[in-house]
Amino acid sequence: MAIRLRLKLVKESNSVEVTALVNSGFETLEPEILVPSDIARNLSLYPQLPQGAMVKEYKLADGSSSKLIKISKIISVYAVEEDRMIGPVESSLTIAEKAEEPLISDKLAGKLGIVALDFGEGLWCFKDEIGRVTRKSR
């Protein structure tokens, strides 16, 4: 099992809720979320790209590389649970046409206060809940 949680992505009057995978191996310099093109389309960010969007080559964990579309600091991200909502966190958005699910970068996970308790069991909490609350992956 892995850690997946519900996020709300907001771009002006458009918003979408997604289940996203926390990926500590997705190392970035700033908060960033990688999404499939259909999610970017729902936020009106694809296929018509906003000004400032750039095609960037990323190194993947297996050593290969892939060209992705990055839009810097374009959306607000909220972590959504039944009992609370954390955010907004200003985040960059990267579009991967072939992605199967959204991925949360290490920096976005940190800004949202997500703490992995057990990746194998899918257990996590928010930073201010350590030792008091254990949440289960979606």
Please give the chain's pLDDT, 138 residues, in tens. Answer: 799 999 999 999 999 999 999 988 889 999 999 999 999 999 999 999 999 999 878 777 788 888 899 999 999 999 999 999 999 999 999 999 888 999 999 999 999 999 999 999 999 999 999 999 999 998
Q: Which domains does the chain have, with CATH numbers?
A: 4-136 (2.40.70.10)
Q: Do the beta carbons of residue 58 and residue 65 sit within 8 Å?
A: yes
